[in-house]
Amino acid sequence: MLMSTKAPSLVKLCIGTAIANLRYIGDVGGLEMHLLEGILPHCTVDQLMHIENSTEPVDLTPVTNDLWKRFYEQQFGAEHMMLVMRRMKQKHVAFKWRLLYEAKTKERKEFQSKSAEKLKKRYEEELAKKQSKQVRICSKVPPSSNKRSFSLVGCSGYNLSHIKSNIMKKAKLEYLNSNEVKIHAAMRRNIVERKSCLTRSAPPSKPTRFLEKSSASTSRISK
C-alpha cells in the first residue's frame, strides 16, 4: 500500500519562496508578524537592515530585536553582549539591539580609523628621522667640483681596491694627483734617466782592455 505524502501548504510555499528571494524583498508592512517570524531569521545583516528601513514607519522590533541581539553576539562576542545586558539591567533601561549594534559598529570603525591615523603618523615620524639622519651624514662630505668615478682600480693606474670607504678613496686620489706627488715622480724619472745615461757612457771593462793589449802584442811579434 503506497503512503500518501502530504503536499505543503500554500503558506509554506510562500515562505520558502520569500526566503529564496530575500535579496529582492523590501517593504513587508503588509505581512503578518507570524509570517515574518519564519522569513526574517534567514536574513543577513544588510538584508534585515534594508527590510526594516523599507518598512518604516511600521515597527518590526517584536520580530527583529532578537535577530539583532544574535548579530551583536556574533560580531562582538558573547562576553561583551552579557556586559551590555548587565549594564542595562543595573540602570533599568532597555535599548533596541539594532541601535546597540549600530552604535558599537560605529565606535569600532572610529577606533580603527584613529589607530590607522596613529600608525600613519608614527611611520611618517620615523621616516622623517631616517631622512634627517641621511641628510646630516651627506652634509659632512666636502663639496668637490671635480667629479671622479671610484672603481676598484682608481685613476692614474693606482689600485684602490683595498680602500673600502668612498671618502678615503677620494682623499687618496686627490693626494696621488697632487702637484707634490707629481714633482716627486718627475724627480724619480730624472734620476732613473741619468743612471741609464751614465751606464751607456762608461769606459769598457778590464777584460776588453786585456784583449786590446794582447792583440797589440801579437801584432808586434808578427813584425
115 in any annotated domain: no
Q: Over 80: is that where the pLDDT of 115 sits?
A: yes
Long-range residue pairs from 162-171, CB within 8 A, at least 24 positions apart, any chain: 167/141, 170/144
Same domain, 88 and 161: no
Question: Dihedral (C-alpha) 168, 171, 175, 179: value to the nearest 10 degrees?
Answer: 170
211 in any annotated domain: no
126 in any annotated domain: no
pLDDT of residue 8: 78
Domain extent for 52: 10-98
pLDDT of residue 204: 53
Query: How many Å apart are CA 63 and CA 180, to the nearest integer?
Result: 99
Query: How many Å apart are CA 33 and CA 190, to the nearest integer?
Result: 116
137 in any annotated domain: no
118 in any annotated domain: no
Query: How many Å apart are CA 185 and CA 187, to the nearest integer?
Result: 5
Same domain, 155 and 94: no
Q: 120 or 50: whose pLDDT is higher?
A: 50
CA-wise closest residue to 69 among 57, 59, 82, 56: 82
- Write down the mean pLDDT value for the chain: 78
Question: Dihedral (C-alpha) 44, 50, 53, 59: value to the nearest 10 degrees?
Answer: -40
The number of domains in the chain is 2
pLDDT of residue 55: 93
Same domain, 92 and 154: no
pLDDT tens-place string over residues 17-64: 999 999 999 999 888 999 999 999 999 999 999 999 999 889 999 999
User: What predicted TM-score, i.e. pTM, was given to this entire model?
Assistant: 0.53
